[in-house]
Amino acid sequence: MQFDHDLQSIQEMRDALQKAKEAQQKYMAFSQEQVDEIVKRVAEAAFAKSLELAKFAVEETRMGIIEHKRMKNDVGSMAVYQSIKNEKTVGIIKEDHANKVVEVAAPFGVIAGIIPTTNPTSTAIFKALISLKTRNGIVFSPHPRAVKCTIAALEICLKAAKEAGAPDGIIGWISKPTMAATTELMKHRDIDLILATGGKDLVRAAYSSGKPAYGVGPGNVPVYVEKSADIAKAMKMIVESKSFDHGTICATEQAMVVDRNVQQLAIRELKKNGAYLLDDQEKVKLEKVISPLPGKLNPTIVGQSALKIAEMAGISVPSDTRILVAEETRVGKDVPFSIEKLSPILALYTADSYHQAKKICLSLLNLGGRGHSLSLHTNDEKVAREFALEMPVSRLMVNTLSSIGAVGATTGLVPSLTLGCGSFGGNITSDNVSAKHLINIKRMAYGNKEVIIPKPGNHPSQTKSDSKENVSEIVEQVLKQVNLAGNVDPKLISEMVNQVLKKYQMN
């Protein structure tokens, strides 16, 4: 009897989730030292298979470049490990002796990990590591076009974790993913948190699941080349970044805004580095390939080489072409070059002034990249600071490759394959998501202040001026007693004053 594919997928998900829940309950008892050893062993195992997994990902998804996938796997494994290895995630993680507050880490429970087709193996390794570091279980839903390579990465992680002592089932997955199973996974009562990396519809589903969720928005990243920049160096970086893994990282530059007085120099340097500048007719041909429908990206160009995309558009380009560039003046859903393209295609805008450059960048972000990232090439620190203050982005990379700089490969940002967009992009965090986002922090606070709790007054409507009058009356009474008594014991006067003060405080 042939079972329905959706039903098989849902049942597999439920089985994996039950196993992960049981394993996570056992994992709760592990010490920091045990957890750290498991995480170390998993990172090392994934790093050792980095190239093999890169080849597998390119072969299955038919996207990207093997050497670049390997770099992303390295970031997702060892770079992530190095960034989290010394974090305390078990038991008491911090004590504030001065204020008498103790912080205790507690895991969320079981996490739903959603994996994209663009960065499947690196994202799977990364999410497995940060979940293990925080004593969470995790069940993955791979992208249907990247199932085999994703599971291969997860099998390596689970095997290493078990060999280091982790309970079986702490990492689980759906081998026959369907939207029905993924949706039920996110809504299941045993899921405590969702880590969603993927298309906007899937991220929206994660946020509407009723569960806490970390999702990421689109990255329509502008790169502004300001007149003070080292143009030769900037163009080399932009081409390298834009062609990295054929543009599959969401933080990759999508449109370049350049000051007019350095535009011709910039174009010459782009060409030196393998950029092909389209003429008007070629631009029209490519527009139809980028976006057959207004605002909709053609998925067949995602992660493909410039040569293949040019061939799809019927354009002849040199064999050493790395990116395709077209000059543009407009921004909008009906302007294919202005949307996020996830491929080695770059729009080129020319700004007549610094203020116009900012306006173009903001328009591009508002079209579909708010909260994500912006890239800047400048030697003017004032310009960099002003952009940081004014642009609605969560990360701004200066004088580096935006694609891998955003994930922490060429910058001091936290290594991560899930980049939050903050409230600008409808996300709960603007951070590069890491282990610290997967723990609850309980706080134990000791009393360290003495306070006097006012007793209910006889005159609740009494005003401040009334209180002052009452105090004055009490003082007059004390003075009368002193005058009547003549020589009065100082202790008696002190006691009378204290009585006045107490009554004043109660008022």
Give the catalytic positions in this structure: 250
| Structure tokens belonging to residue 264 | 């011709």
What 3-state DSSP class applies to 36?
helix
- Pairing outcome for strands 439-445 and 101-107: antiparallel
Mark 482-496 as b/e (b = at least 16 C-beta within 10 Å).
eeeeeeeeeeeeeeb
Distance CA 283, CA 317 (A): 13
CB atoms within 10 A of CB 201: 9
Region at 285 (left for phi over 0; alpha for psi -120 to 50; beta for the rest)? alpha
Distance CA 453, CA 506 (A): 9
CB 57 within 8 A of CB 64: yes
Long-range contacts of 267-272 (CB under 8 A, 24+ apart): 267/348, 269/231, 269/232, 269/234, 269/235, 269/236, 270/235, 270/238, 270/239, 270/325, 272/235
CB 481 within 8 A of CB 475: no
Distance CA 167, CA 49 (A): 22
Distance CA 440, CA 254 (A): 36
DSSP bridge pairs for 137: 110
Helices (H), 227-348: 231-243, 263-272, 280-290, 306-312
Residue 460 to residues 19, 463, 466: CA-CA distances in angstroms?
Answer: 61, 9, 11
Distance CA 374, CA 395 (A): 7
- The DSSP line for 184-207 is HHHH-TT--EEEE-S-HHHHHHHH
- The DSSP line for 129-187 is HHHHHTT-EEEEE--GGGHHHHHHHHHHHHHHHHHTTPPTTSEEE-SS--HHHHHHHHH
Residue 265: Cβ-neighbour burial (10 angstroms; 0-12, 13-18, 19+): middle
| Structure tokens belonging to residue 104 | 């205790």
User: Which residues contact residue 438 at a Cβ distance below 8 angstroms, ignoring those fewer than 6 apart?
Assistant: 107, 108, 111, 130, 131, 133, 134, 136, 193
